[in-house]
Amino acid sequence: MAKTSQQRVEVKNRDKQLKYILENEFELSPRESESIVKTANEIYELENYEPSHQADRGKIVRTVISKDAKHGPRLEELPKVNVTLTKDIQKEDKNLYRKEGKTSLRQSKILRMTNEALEQDGLLTQEDLADILEVSVRTIRRDIKKLEKRDFDVPTRGVYQDIGSGVSHKTKIIKLHLEYHTYSEIQRKTRHSSAAIKRYITSFGRVLLSLKNDLSTKQTAHIVGISEKLVKEYTEIYLQYNTDEYQERLADIVNLAESKAAVRTAAKKGALK
């Protein structure tokens, strides 16, 4: 199968990523690094590599600039990471398209993919989004402005580098859930999939269990599999919403987390028999 121009670009980007690691982490010369990259391509037959085949249905693999990269050097010289992005969610995206049209669907994808990239320590540029969604950069820029006017955070490289990470979208979703919004309402307000919303609420519940067991921030981050920064954000949410008005919702979240923890424990015991 012939590779598309985009697939060829992906291979070249990964070559640059490997070359950057060899030069900066292993302190090899540019010439030595280039020779190693070339040899690796020959040995592993990467000329036939097609990145689009490496992700599940509806997902794509993309090489993007690391969120820790600073402004200044040329883009090809900056550290990069590989991220897996959800370009299509069959049922949910089709429903959104039918209800609100292609513009709303595209804006939903912009929010989803920029946040997914950030969660994997990468940042999409407006050019990345234009290429993935097959529209002009001007269209992406216009969509982002409309999203920002509606108080959505769109963490592209330019925005993140200028103002930092701010309050995470996960925090906003947890607050909406605590305030008794339904999943469909949260999905409409945040443009996140129901699966992502449920995942964030589950992580929040596991943080609450850790607080209940007097675990430290570092211990909680390790057990739940999230950053210490997010653990602190979730802890602040708990302290803010730990009132009579929200006790029922908090209890539901904790009970769900406890039941899932019990299932995991039972499964582990069964595996040891």
CA distances (Å), origin 100, targets 133, 185, 188, 197: 17, 14, 11, 20
Query: Is the residue at 182 inside a domain?
Result: yes
pTM for the full predicted model: 0.60
Contact 80, 13 (CB under 8 A): yes
Q: Single out the residue in 131, 163, 195 at which a domain terminates.
A: 163
In a 10 Å sphere around its CB, with 0-12 CB exposed, 13-18 middle and 19+ buried, how is residue 28 labelled?
middle
Place of tokens 């904790």: 254
Report H helices in the chain.
Answer: 5-24, 30-43, 90-100, 102-119, 126-133, 137-149, 157-163, 169-178, 183-190, 194-212, 217-224, 228-241, 247-272
List, for residues 79-106, the tens digit of each pLDDT value.
888 899 988 887 778 888 888 899 999 9
Q: Single out the residue in 163, 183, 213 at which a domain terminates.
A: 163
List, for residues 218-230, the tens digit of each pLDDT value.
999 999 988 888 8
Regarding whether 141 and 49 lie in a shared domain, the answer is yes
Is residue 75's pLDDT more than 70?
Answer: no
Regarding whether 198 and 114 lie in a shared domain, the answer is no
Q: Single out the residue in 163, 179, 213 at which a domain terminates.
A: 163
3-state secondary structure of 213: coil
Residue 113, domain extent: 5-163
Question: What's the total number of domains in the chain?
Answer: 2
- What is the pLDDT, as a whole number, of residue 12? 59
User: 67: Cβ–Cβ under 8 A, 6 or more apart, which residues?
Assistant: 118, 121, 122, 123, 160
Query: Is the residue at 271 inside a domain?
Result: no
CA distances (Å), origin 261, targets 157, 253, 255: 37, 12, 10
Confidence bin at 268 (pLDDT 50/70/90): low
Query: Is the residue at 273 inside a domain?
Result: no
- What is the pLDDT, as a whole number, of residue 22? 81
Regarding whether 41 and 126 lie in a shared domain, the answer is yes
- What is the pLDDT, as a whole number, of residue 3? 45
More confident residue, 83 or 261: 83
Paired with 81 in beta bridges are: 64
- What is the pLDDT, as a whole number, of residue 48? 45
List, for residues 174-193, the tens digit of each pLDDT value.
999 999 999 888 887 777 77
Regarding whether 184 and 149 lie in a shared domain, the answer is no
